[in-house]
């Protein structure tokens, strides 16, 4: 019969063996410390630790998102706006992420807030609204270069929303309406200019060709003759008046018969 001390010792030994084996998933890494000193980085898979001597810290190596809360920003042209963003990052070195910074996620969040305010504060409102891709890229480059010693890589930065005051929204709407009115007036002026230019050219042609002007007059009279309640009086003079009147009467009759 097994004595009680031996049984207790066996159970204790089996418990130590059981807790000495650790399993790390594919997307995790384990940073192992032995008596407070960095020993190695393990995983994925199963491995053994010395109970009460080794301590393990898990680090997630997947791409993670970091929601940057709304930041009140004053742009270069003194417009107050609120901007919030999303940062996607991943840990590239679990050892650096644990050794170099106390809390890499909180440190990245604070750094993102400061960088967002600094970069947007250097630009005017129109640039912030129209060049988001370029601003996102600049913010990402700054964050990536700063967090690289921490064993991190910033994958992407996206400004999710830009909120403007109500009075600024009304001003932008008025500006857009004025811009459309400006384009309409320019198009109308260009049409008037082209029409006057063509009329000037036509006048020069009629001046050089009086017969063409006379034909144009006859065509106009023909159009007028379509209105049966109008009387057309020709003011021709000199030679050829009779033939002109006869021609006009023939044109008017032809138009009336249609």
Domain boundary among 25, 44, 59: 59
Judgement on whether residues 109 and 132 belong to the same structural domain of the protein = yes
Q: Which residue has the higher pLDDT, 176 or 89?
A: 89
Predicted local distance difference test score (pLDDT) of residue 52: 81
Predicted local distance difference test score (pLDDT) of residue 108: 92
Is residue 43 assigned to a domain? yes
Is residue 42 assigned to a domain? yes
Cis before residue 235, ω within 30 degrees of 0? no
Residue 255: CB atoms within 10 Å: 16
CA 244 to chain centre: 70
Judgement on whether residues 153 and 75 belong to the same structural domain of the protein = yes
User: Which helix (H) or strand (E) covers residue 33, if one does?
Assistant: strand 28-34
How many domains are there within the chain?
A: 3
* Whether 66 contacts 38, CB under 8 Å: no
pLDDT exceeds cutoff 80 at 223: no
Mean pLDDT of 67-76: 89
Judgement on whether residues 80 and 152 belong to the same structural domain of the protein = yes
Please report, rounded to a whole number, the percentage of residues in the chain having pLDDT higher than 90.
33
Is residue 257 assigned to a domain? yes
Judgement on whether residues 26 and 110 belong to the same structural domain of the protein = no
Judgement on whether residues 77 and 151 belong to the same structural domain of the protein = yes
Alpha-helical runs (H) found in 66-209: 94-99, 104-121, 125-130, 132-147, 166-208
Is residue 128 assigned to a domain? yes
Q: What is the domain range of residue 53?
A: 4-59
Predicted local distance difference test score (pLDDT) of residue 238: 47
pLDDT tens string 232-257: 555 554 444 445 555 555 555 555 55
Range with the poorest average pLDDT among 143-152, 157-166, 233-242: 233-242
Q: Report the C-alpha gap between 203 and 197 in whole angstroms.
A: 10
Predicted local distance difference test score (pLDDT) of residue 231: 59
Judgement on whether residues 94 and 55 belong to the same structural domain of the protein = no
Judgement on whether residues 55 and 122 belong to the same structural domain of the protein = no
pLDDT exceeds cutoff 60 at 148: yes
Is residue 203 assigned to a domain? no
Predicted local distance difference test score (pLDDT) of residue 136: 93
Judgement on whether residues 134 and 92 belong to the same structural domain of the protein = yes
User: Which helix (H) or strand (E) covers residue 64, if one does?
Assistant: strand 64-74
Judgement on whether residues 157 and 83 belong to the same structural domain of the protein = yes
- Report the Cα–Cα distance between both ends of the chain, in Å, rounded: 132
Judgement on whether residues 224 and 244 belong to the same structural domain of the protein = yes
Judgement on whether residues 68 and 160 belong to the same structural domain of the protein = yes
Q: Predicted confidence band at 116 (pLDDT cuts at 50, 70, 90)? A: very high
Q: Predicted confidence band at 198 (pLDDT cuts at 50, 70, 90)? A: confident
Q: Which position has the token pair 């009779």?
A: 242
pLDDT exceeds cutoff 80 at 151: yes
Structure tokens at 189: 């002026």
Judgement on whether residues 109 and 124 belong to the same structural domain of the protein = yes
pLDDT exceeds cutoff 60 at 89: yes
Mean pLDDT of 144-154: 93
3-class DSSP state for residue 61? coil
pLDDT tens string 13-59: 777 767 788 889 999 999 999 998 999 998 888 888 888 888 999 99
CATH number at residue 95: 3.30.479.30
Q: Report the C-alpha gap between 124 and 185 in whole angstroms.
A: 28
């Amino acid at each position: 019969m097994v004595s009680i001390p031996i049984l207790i010792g066996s159970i204790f030994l089996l418990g130590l063996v059981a807790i000495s084996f650790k399993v790390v998933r594919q997307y995790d890494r384990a940073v192992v410390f032995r008596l407070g000193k960095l020993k190695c980085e393990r995983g994925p898979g199963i491995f053994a630790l010395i109970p009460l001597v080794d301590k393990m810290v898990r680090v997630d190596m997947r791409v993670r998102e970091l929601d940057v809360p709304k930041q009140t920003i004053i742009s270069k042209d003194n417009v107050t706006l609120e901007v919030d963003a999303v940062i996607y990052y991943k840990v590239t070195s679990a050892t650096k992420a644990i050794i170099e910074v106390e809390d890499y996620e909180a440190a990245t969040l604070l750094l993102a807030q400061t960088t967002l305010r600094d970069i947007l504060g250097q630009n005017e409102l129109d640039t912030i609204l129209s060049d988001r891709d370029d601003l996102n890229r600049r913010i990402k480059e700054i964050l990536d270069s700063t967090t690289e010693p921490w064993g991190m890589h910033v994958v992407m930065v996206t400004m999710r929303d830009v909120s403007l005051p109500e009075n600024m929204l009304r001003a932008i709407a008025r500006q857009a309406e004025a811009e459309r009115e400006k384009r309409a007036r320019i198009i109308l002026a260009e049409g008037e200019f082209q029409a006057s230019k063509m009329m000037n050219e036509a006048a020069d042609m009629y001046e050089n060709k009086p017969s063409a002007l006379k034909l144009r007059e006859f065509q106009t009279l023909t159009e007028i003759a379509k209105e049966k309640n109008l009387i057309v009086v020709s003011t021709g003079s000199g030679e050829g008046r009779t033939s002109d009147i006869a021609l006009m009467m023939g044109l008017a009759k032809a138009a009336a018969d249609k």
